Structure formats: structure tokens, C-alpha cells
A = this chain, B = another copy of it.
Amino acid sequence: MRVKKLTERNVGISSDDDMIDITTSGTMTERTLNQRSPINLPGSGETEDIPGIGQYEDFHTIDWQRDIARDRMRHRYILKRKQNSFIDLIKSAHDAWSGWLCVLLVGLVTGTVAAIIDIGTSWMSDLKFGICPQAFWLNMEQCCWSSNETSFELDKGNCSQWFYWSEIMTSSNYGPFAYIVSYLFYIAWALLFAALAAGLVRMFAPYACGSGVPEIKTILSGFIIRGYLGKWTLLIKSVGIMMCVSAGLSLGKEGPMVHIASCIGNILSYLFPKYGRNEAKKREILSAAAAAGVSVAFGAPIGGVLFSLEEVSYYFPLKTLWRSFFCALVAAFVLSSINPFGNEHSVMFYVEYHRPWMFFELIPFIGLGIIGGVIATVFIKCNIKWCRFRKTSILGQYPVMEVLLLTAVTAILSYPNPYTRMGTSQLIYLLFSQCDVSSNDGLCDYTNDKANVAGPGVYTAMLLLSMAFVLKLVTTIFTFGIKVPCGLFIPSLAMGGITGRIVGILMQQLAAKHPHLWFFDNSCGLLGQEGCITPGLYAMVGAAAVLGGVTRMTVSLVVIMFELTGGVRYIVPLMAAVMASKWVGDALGKEGMYDAHIQLNGYPFLDSKEDIVHTALAADVMQPRRAENLNVLTQSSMSLEDTEILLKETEHNGFPVVVSRESQYLVGYVLRRDLQLALENAKRTIDGLLPESLILFTDITQQVMPPPIKLKKILDMAPITITDQTPMETVVDMFRKLGLRQTLVTHNGRLLGVITKKDILRYIKQVDNEDPSSVLFH
């Protein structure tokens, strides 16, 4: 009945502003929506909600234009109803506010979850070393605080409430036996945590592994991966990341935080049908959530928004910039209110420098950038090789074993070196910070009479740091990609931080021993005792360089580092290093880690930044290659039987409708899904339907027998078309900017073929001399 009733409505173009006119005269997109959207149509009284409308199947790409048109339709409908009653007015207000409300909730929940993860990670990390018997739920720092001891220093053990495992087991914290006990406990806890994490991921949420950023980039570009942002993924990823970090694996929780925040965004968007039921609109919330994820990971709301804008978001309307910023800010505010690190900042490695840098120092900073780019390239290339090996070899079938083995090796090698034994975030904080009187690490062992001349402790520390660097690099290459949640921000920052700190100390010693070299510009001589080189700043620059090389982030990375240091002063060094690193990285290897993993996994991601020099025309790329193979519907000459055969014999997602097979003049486009639904409906509702009943996409009023199926209502009469002479650059541009799923190729008005997003991706692969069949696509 449904289709029949609707087709009987008078159809005509109306310039009237009235909603009912749109319903009957709009294009297919709007009309189909009206027919089936869950909204009550005015006058029709229909409330049925055909499930699956506006939704897509798994591993399909979305049609942005269609979804946005659906949302406009819904919006217009609500505006129209606004005057009707008070409840409708409230509904309209709720609709207007729901975007803000949703991102507010996302921000609140993200901040809370981040705080729980931070607290849990800190507690579990300390559990590897010992326990607070009076209150086992406290970590080392809190335990010592609660005992009111005034001087607390990490790893010094001068806190009576905290017991190391060796103390509990052997009643002593010193001697080789205690060391071995501690070592064994460390490894045992690490294995336990890793086993739990890997087991949970394998059993409950296979999507919870990895960093998640490549997949989120793909999802935001308009691809559907069901369950990737679901509640199980959220739960397991949150728990898993705490365990993995605590297990001492060489990974970070910053990348997964983006995934966790996106899960929160996805789940909460279902509270608001405006977003939950519309994939295009939902991606606005997801963009904001990604910003909140980075915001809580680094305590950098502005950096988070820029990360979302620059790195992960695809179709980022500027009006969501403000909303993303709000979301990121709320999340950061909640996190800093819960205050997991006991200081006023929401990241562990917040530092504040005051010493100015000299113009001359740009040379070592750029040098650090170049080194960072090289390290990043080595890291990416080796990691991708290993991941490809994992995908293709037997190794991929034993993910839990791999995790356990890697954890054991990492733990065994990490424990002896104090810089790898401590948490990576703590290491980064140590590397970034300046030495002052209270520092008692080897790194700050400066001779007393001249504060900037290194003592033997510094050289020992440098040796240990070099070993730590090698260990981090090797373990991270094997770690990123294993089947537990793991991010690469923290290991990259640590590698870069070590490099930078070492270069910084070398520079500092040069300045201390030869303060009157011309390039020190006399500043070093003048400052005397204080020294003129800040090794911590070098560590930060080096960290930014490696991370920049690995992720190819630019502005957002500089802004994140700037928010960590809280001073405009150091933007220039950071920028110089990040720029050098990016250029070196681009020269040595084409893409960053995330894009390399997208390629590796064959996600259908159409990069919006890359500018490929195409030379082909639409005619060279369109399918089919030969016009006689083109599967089309005709507007008034095909029977039900013909259509059903066509549906059975082909797998296209949609069919162009033409005037006649001979002329091939394009009339419109109909989706396979809509056609199937409409045919089923017609069979149920139209009496006397025969296989030879005509399928009509035109307005025919005279009676014909057997009764035809009138389908003009499901015809999209405004498909995007291009001519066969259009250069592929323009076509790719249209796909990117308009978010198309397919476009129809015509010549002098005649249909020649179709170009789908799949064709575009295959074509780009071909241009890049890669295997076009590697794209994962339905």
C-alpha cells in the first residue's frame, strides 16, 4: 500500500515554501526520506519506522550528500512544527541544543574516563614494585602522602608506609636477593597484566587492539565499521590500556585515548536521534570527541582541536570547530578537576621553562629535527615490515602468545636500566625537566662549584639513556601492532626526548667548557653559573621531532608541545625541528605511521591532503570499460521480470535510469536497496502483478494492464554527473569535497558509465604503482 499511496500524490515542481510541497516535489533524496523517515509526515499520520533506513551495511561507504539532505529535511520539518504546540516548541529547542548537549556529555564522560585510566594506570604501574599495605588501593605517591612524610622522592624508598615486594618477601630492600625478588615480581606482574589485556581483547573486543587512529581516520572519512566504536570496545580498550601500560610494554595511552573518546562520542550520539541516526551528522560528534581525546591525553585543548582538524577529521565544517573546542575544553577541565596527578596540570610531563634560547641554537634544533626524521623513518619502515610479516605468517594466529613473549622480553630487558624500569611518562617528564637543587637523578649530577659542568653521574646517565633508546626503538617496532591497545605517542616522545637530552647535555658541556666561542654570543659567559643551555628544552624539541616524523602532524603537534610548556617563546625551536623532521620524513618515506597502517590494512581512505598528479580523464577510469556492459534501468520499458533478473545478476549498489537503451539519456539514479524494498512492497500490495508488469519511473496516468509498478518516488532525479572529458583531479576533488559515493559519466547527455569511490581508490593505487586489489571494500 505504501508505495502505491505515495505514488498517487500529485507530483509537480512548486516554488512554495511549504513543507508539504517539498514532500511531493522535492528530489528523490528528500522524497524517499519523507516516505520512510521516522518522523510523522504532516497529514499522513504515518508513524512506521522502516528499520535500516539511512543506515548502511558494514564496510560500506556513506553518502554525505544524502545524509546531509536527510538532516536538512528533518530540521525543516521540526522548524515547521514549532508553531504547532508547546511540546513541539520544546522539541525544536531540544533539537537546536542537542549538538551542544551531546558534546558537553562527551566532554564530561571523556574527562572522567581519562581520569580513571590515569589513576588506574598509576596504581597498577606501582603494583609491579610494591604495595601500600594499609590501603592497597593507593599508589606509591598517595601512600607516602597519606603517611604525612614530608620529603618524598621516587625510587628512594624513604617512605615508611610503602613496601616493596622485596621488603615484604625478604624483609630487606637491599642486596642481590632482594633485587632478584623485585625483578621476578616485576616480570610476573607484567606478564599477568599483559595476559589479562590480551585475553580480554581476544575474547570480547577484537577491535580494541592497536592505537585506533588509522581506523578512526577511515571512519571519519565516511566508512562504516560496525562495532569499532561500540561499548565493548570502549570498556575493553579502557581496561586493556591500563594493563598494557602497567605491564611496562613500550606503548602509550594517548592514541587509544582518541579511540576511547570516539567510542564515547559514538555511544552518546545515540541519545540524540539527530546524530545517532545520521552517519554524516554523527561524524561531527566524532570529530569533537577525537579532539577531546587528545585534549585529555596531553592536557592540550587547543592542540586537540587542531589535531582533530589536521589529522583525523575529513569533512570538518567550520561550525563544528567551535563545538569541538568546547568539547575538548570540558574534557580537559573535568580531568584537571579530578586531578589525577596531584598537580594543577592534567598531564604528567608539564614543565615550565624561563630561560631564553639563543638564535644560534636553531642549528642544533634543526639537527634534532633531521635526526628525528631519520629515527621516525627507521621506526615506520621496520614496523610496517614486521606488521606485514605478522599478517602473512603463522605469527598472526597466536596473538596472545606474541603479547606474552614480548612482555617478558621487554620486562627482562627493562628492569636493569632505571630509565626503562620507570614508566615512560615519568621518563619523559624527567627528560623534559630542568635540574634544580632538589633533583637527585644521575642526570642532574653537576659539579657543585660550576652548576653547568657535568659530573660522572651525568655521563653514566647518558650511557644508560643511550641503551634505553635502543631498547625503546627495538621494542616499539615489535610492539606497535600487537593485539592489545597500544599508542605510539609516548614511545616516540621518549625516543626523541632521549636523543634531545643527550644532544642538549653535549651542547651544555660545550658551552660550559668553551663559553667564549663566538656562536655562544657571550650569553654563556654572562650567565656564568646558570649556564645558557637548557637540556630539557632540547629533550622537548627532540621529542617533537620524532613524534612529528612518525605521525607527520605539524601545527597540532607544535601547539600541543606549546601547551605543555606554556610559553610562546619556544614555538620557533619546536617549529623548526618539526618542519625539518617532516621534510626529512617525507623525503625518506612517503607516509606517516597512521597512513602506512591504513595502506597496510587496505582501508578505503581517500586522503584529502595528498595532491596526486593525475593525467587521466573520467573516461579512462569509469566502469564499465565498454558501453554495452553498462547495467541500466529504463524509465518506462522494463518489466518486473527484467528488473529482478538485473538485480539477481549484478551486485551494484545502484543503477542509473535512462530514457531508453538506445538513446541512453540519463534520467536519474536508483539505489539497489530502495529498489528491492519497493519491489517487495509492490508485490505485497498491488493486486494482479505479473512478471511482465512494467516498472515505470515516469508519470503515466492512463491505465495499462497488467498494473505497472510506479517507482518515480524512489528515483534520485538529481544524481551528480560529470562529462567523460573531466580530468580525474576534478573528479577526485568532487569526491573529497562533496563526499560522493558515485558519480555518473555522460557525453553529450548520454550515459557512458559510473565512477564509484572504489574506482577512485583503485585508480589512485594504480597511479601510485600499488596493488589496486588491496583495498578493503564491500
Q: Which residues of A contact B (CB under 8 A)?
A: 13, 15-19, 21-22, 25-30, 65, 68-69, 72, 75-76, 79, 299, 301-302, 305, 309-310, 317-319, 321-322, 325-326, 329, 332-333, 344, 356, 554-555, 558-559, 562-563, 566-569, 571-572, 575, 579, 608-609, 611, 613, 615-620, 659, 665-668, 717-723, 725-727, 729-730, 733-734, 737-738, 746, 748-750
Contacts and interface: CB of A to CB of B under 8 A. Distances in A.
A737 B737 CA distance: 6
Contacts of A305: 555
A555 B75 contact: no
The CB with the most chain B CB atoms within 10 A, among A567, A568, A730, is that of A568
A317 B667 CA distance: 35
B613 A72 contact: yes
17 contacts: A18-B615, A27-B617, A65-B730, A68-B729, A302-B571, A318-B608, A318-B609, A321-B554, A321-B555, A322-B555, A325-B555, A326-B579, A563-B568, A566-B567, A566-B568, A618-B718, A667-B748
A554 B609 contact: no
Contacts of A725: 27-28, 668, 717-718
A762 to B, nearest CB: 15
Contacts of A310: 318, 321
A28 B729 CA distance: 14
A554 B322 CA distance: 7
Contacts of A613: 72, 75-76, 79
Contacts of A321: 309-310, 554-555
A722 to B, nearest CB: 7
Contacts of A617: 13, 25-27
A16 B302 CA distance: 46
Given A21-B615, A302-B302, A318-B608, 18 more contacts: A13-B617, A13-B619, A27-B617, A69-B727, A76-B615, A79-B613, A301-B568, A309-B321, A318-B609, A322-B554, A326-B575, A329-B572, A333-B572, A668-B723, A718-B727, A734-B738, A737-B738, A749-B750
A52 to B, nearest CB: 24
Nearest to A313: B318
Nearest to A568: B563
A560 to B, nearest CB: 11
A492 B722 CA distance: 49
Contacts of A558: 325
A30 B718 contact: no
Nearest to A666: B749
B748 A575 contact: no
A19 to B, nearest CB: 8
A299 to B, nearest CB: 8
A611 B76 CA distance: 12
B29 A727 contact: yes
Given A13-B617, A721-B723, A748 B659 contact: yes
A556 to B, nearest CB: 9
A559 B302 contact: yes
Given A325-B575, A329-B572, A333-B572, A718 B729 contact: no
Contacts of A719: 723
Contacts of A22: 615
A283 to B, nearest CB: 16
B329 A13 contact: no
A719 B724 CA distance: 10
A96 to B, nearest CB: 11
A615 B730 CA distance: 28
A256 B68 CA distance: 38
Closest 6 CB pairs of A and B: A749-B749, A717-B725, A718-B726, A665-B749, A737-B737, A322-B554
Contacts of A325: 554-555, 558, 575
Nearest to A66: B730
Contact of A718 (B13, B730, B749): B730
A322 B79 CA distance: 40
Contacts of A749: 665-666, 746, 748-750
A295 B79 CA distance: 41
B568 A666 contact: no
B718 A721 contact: no
A322 B309 CA distance: 12
A503 B22 CA distance: 51
Nearest to A751: B749
Nearest to A318: B609
Nearest to A18: B615
Given A609-B318, A613-B75, A722-B718, A730 B69 contact: yes
Given A718-B725, A727-B30, A737-B738, A329 B575 contact: yes
A91 to B, nearest CB: 17
Contacts of A29: 727
A559 B559 CA distance: 11
A86 to B, nearest CB: 20
Nearest to A302: B559
Contacts of A746: 721, 749
Contacts of A302: 302, 559, 562, 571
A174 B43 CA distance: 84
A191 B505 CA distance: 60
Contacts of A750: 665, 749
Nearest to A76: B613
Given A79-B613, A562-B302, A723-B719, A729 B72 contact: yes
A665 B665 CA distance: 9
Contacts of A555: 305, 321-322, 325
Contacts of A27: 617, 725-727
A62 to B, nearest CB: 16
Contacts of A30: 727
A62 B694 CA distance: 48
B609 A319 contact: yes
A75 B18 CA distance: 50
Contacts of A68: 729, 733
Contacts of A572: 329, 333
Contacts of A559: 302
A73 to B, nearest CB: 9
A309 B22 CA distance: 35
A11 to B, nearest CB: 11
Contacts of A329: 571-572, 575
Contacts of A721: 721-723, 746
Contacts of A301: 568, 571
Nearest to A659: B748
Nearest to A575: B329
B729 A723 contact: no
A28 to B, nearest CB: 8
Contacts of A579: 326
A72 to B, nearest CB: 6
Nearest to A635: B748
A606 to B, nearest CB: 14
